[in-house]
């Protein structure tokens, strides 16, 4: 969204950029600016971490310091992140509330403005609402909890359920996977820990909402979801932050585990403000005949680098990434998918749709790996890019490594443009320029969005409309 738009239409400011508000800071716990061993100790002391977590964090800090930024292939813009300028832990208290009435007023108002309690009542099985470093609210419907489903924050997960937590934590995404997974491992706070017992099919989605309120701050939630044999779960996450002049960092690690025959769907709708660096590592481990599906929608942020992946570990496991990225003026969406086939008859599907507007830039980076000894593996990759006006650029780097016979890979890519003639045509029918662009974009993603759960496709359409309205003029 351009500055000019905000100034010209001040009355529309909230509608166009609904996450763009913040409340004055009032934190009981603040680790201060910069990242040292003392920062880690402060976080551990505040959270009352067990010793093994303190050691885990300190080891991760060392790895983080040793690892270089991935600048040989990634955006140079990463170099403008000054790690010493951030605050790594801000909270009003480590323990989340079970009812909205107990949540501090300004935090409660924040989530009310974002419609979270309303959605919880309407269609969710449980909600966790994170405000900066910690969840302010966390609740699961009784009927779901009674089935043995665990839905808590990472802090409660590692303390109260160590037997499940420790088994998988850091196993899908090792600390040293990349610089940002190491950073997260050092300072992680918040995020969800979910366990769905064997055979339990959670009917309604569990949702987490990640809200950044503070300036010069980094949010590092850590999510671990384990869906046991034959169980099913849909998890949704939403994110927003106010627009500050300074840089905000969001660097999550999300690990998913689907046991034999389990189904896990992870849905992200992020609507970050344009000062956020969003550098997230997300990966799932799919056992025999299980299915992991990432639905990943990236709107906003200054730079997003995110490549959800699935390791297809068991026979007939299935992985899917359906992603939509919208890069508006000044933004770079560097997104994609990774499919690591590690067993026979595993299948993967990647559909990526990107939209670049103005000086916005969208990059697709894919990795599909099928080793020689495997049989009957299949991958389908489709990447479609839509360009709106001539400054936009898009790049596709689909690395597909297939060895051996009896495996099949299919790759399609397309680039199309919203032309001036197309916009003129639609305007001639009475639609404003913004409405016309919005309709074109919705048309472009339509077929994909139809595969999303309904509540989610409505939300996405609304965000696209707001984003397109704001991109005109």
Partner 1 sequence: MKNALEIKGLKVSIQGTEILHGLNLTVPQGEVHAIMGKNGSGKSTLAKVMAGHPDYEVTGGDVLLDGKTILGLEPDVRARAGLFLAFQYPSEIPGVTIANFMRAALNARRPEGQEIDAVEYYQELYKKMDLLKIDRSFTSRAVNDGFSGGEKKRNEILQMAMLEPKYAVLDETDSGLDIDALKVVSHGVNSLRGPKLGILVITHYQRLLDYIVPDVVHVMVAGQIVKSGPKELALEMEKKGYDWVENLAAV
Residues at the interface with partner 1 (CB under 8 A): 416, 419-422, 424-433, 435-436, 439-440, 442-447
CB of 426 to partner 1, least distance (A): 7
Tokens representing 42 are 């402060």
Report the residue number, 71 or 446, with the smaller CB distance to partner 1.
Answer: 446
Report the residue number, 218 or 434, with the smaller CB distance to partner 1.
Answer: 434
Alpha carbon separation from 152 to 129, 224, 349, 427 (Å, rounded): 11, 10, 31, 49
Nearest C-alpha neighbor of 35 from the set 235, 147, 186, 146: 186
Query: Residue 473 burial (CB < 10 Å; 0-12/13-18/19+)?
Result: exposed
Report the residue number, 90 or 436, with the smaller CB distance to partner 1.
Answer: 436
Please calculate the CA angle 122-132-337 and round it to the nearest 5 degrees: 75
Report the residue number, 30 or 422, with the smaller CB distance to partner 1.
Answer: 422
Report the residue number, 374 or 463, with the smaller CB distance to partner 1.
Answer: 463
CB of 418 to partner 1, least distance (A): 9
Report the residue number, 31 or 387, with the smaller CB distance to partner 1.
Answer: 387
Alpha carbon separation from 406 to 311, 340, 369, 400 (Å, rounded): 20, 17, 14, 15
CB of 446 to partner 1, least distance (A): 4
| Gap between the Cα atoms of 279 and 324, Å rounded | 16
DSSP string covering 350-369, please?
EEEEEEEETT-EEEEEEEEE
CB of 450 to partner 1, least distance (A): 10
CB of 324 to partner 1, least distance (A): 13
In the block, tokens 């690395």 appear at 399
Report the residue number, 397 or 424, with the smaller CB distance to partner 1.
Answer: 424
CB of 330 to partner 1, least distance (A): 24
CB of 389 to partner 1, least distance (A): 13
Report the residue number, 182 or 326, with the smaller CB distance to partner 1.
Answer: 326
CB of 433 to partner 1, least distance (A): 7
Tokens representing 411 are 């790759």
Report the residue number, 433 or 455, with the smaller CB distance to partner 1.
Answer: 433
CB of 335 to partner 1, least distance (A): 20
Strand runs (DSSP E) across 241-331, as ranges? 248-250, 253-258, 263-272, 276-286, 291-300, 303-306, 309-312, 318-327
| Gap between the Cα atoms of 158 and 152, Å rounded | 10
Alpha carbon separation from 214 to 50, 86, 184, 269, 404 (Å, rounded): 28, 10, 18, 21, 52
Nearest C-alpha neighbor of 54 from the set 187, 177, 220: 187
């Amino acid at each position: 969204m351009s500055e000019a738009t905000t100034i010209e239409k001040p009355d529309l400011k909230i509608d166009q950029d609904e996450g763009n508000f913040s409340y004055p800071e009032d934190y009981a716990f603040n680790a201060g600016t910069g990242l040292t061993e003392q920062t880690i100790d402060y976080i551990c002391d505040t959270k009352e971490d067990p010793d093994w977590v303190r050691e885990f964090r300190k080891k991760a800090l060392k790895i983080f310091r040793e690892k270089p930024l991935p600048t040989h292939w990634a955006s140079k813009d990463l170099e403008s992140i000054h790690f010493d300028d951030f605050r790594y832990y801000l909270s009003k208290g480590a323990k989340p509330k079970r009812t909205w009435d107990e949540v501090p007023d300004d935090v409660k108002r924040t989530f009310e403005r974002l419609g979270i309690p309303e959605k919880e009542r309407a269609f969710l099985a449980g909600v966790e609402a994170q405000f900066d470093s910690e969840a302010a609210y966390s609740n699961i419907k009784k009927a779901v909890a009674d089935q043995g489903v665990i839905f808590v924050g990472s802090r409660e997960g590692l303390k109260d359920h160590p037997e499940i937590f420790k088994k998988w934590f850091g196993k899908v995404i090792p600390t040293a996977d990349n610089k940002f997974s190491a950073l997260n491992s050092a300072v992680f706070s918040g995020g969800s820990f979910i366990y769905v017992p064997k055979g339990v099919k959670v009917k309604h989605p569990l949702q987490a909402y990640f809200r950044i309120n503070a300036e010069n701050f980094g949010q590092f939630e850590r999510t671990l979801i384990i869906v046991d044999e034959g169980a099913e779960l849909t998890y949704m996450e939403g994110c927003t932050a106010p627009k500050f002049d300074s840089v905000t960092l969001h660097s999550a690690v999300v690990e998913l585990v689907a046991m034999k025959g389990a189904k896990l769907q992870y849905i992200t709708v992020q609507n970050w403000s344009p000062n956020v660096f969003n550098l997230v590592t997300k990966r799932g481990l799919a056992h025999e005949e299980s299915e992991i599906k990432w639905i990943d929608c990236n709107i906003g942020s200054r730079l997003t680098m995110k490549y959800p992946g699935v390791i297809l570990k068991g026979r007939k496991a299935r992985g899917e990434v359906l992603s939509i990225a919208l890069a508006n003026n000044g933004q770079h969406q560097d997104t994609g998918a990774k499919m690591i086939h590690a067993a026979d008859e595993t299948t993967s599907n990647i559909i990526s749709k990107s939209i670049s507007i103005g000086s916005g830039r969208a990059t697709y980076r894919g990795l599909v790996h099928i080793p020689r000894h495997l049989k009957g593996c299949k991958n389908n990759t489709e990447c479609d890019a839509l360009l709106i006006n001539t400054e936009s650029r898009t790049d596709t780097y689909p690395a597909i490594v297939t060895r051996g016979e009896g495996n099949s890979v299919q790759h399609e890519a397309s680039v199309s443009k919203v032309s001036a003639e197309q916009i003129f045509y639609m305007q001639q029918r009475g639609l404003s320029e913004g409405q016309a662009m919005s309709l074109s974009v919705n048309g472009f993603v339509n077929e994909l969005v139809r595969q999303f759960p309904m509540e989610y496709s409505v939300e996405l359409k609304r965000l696209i409309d707001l984003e397109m309205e704001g991109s005109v003029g």
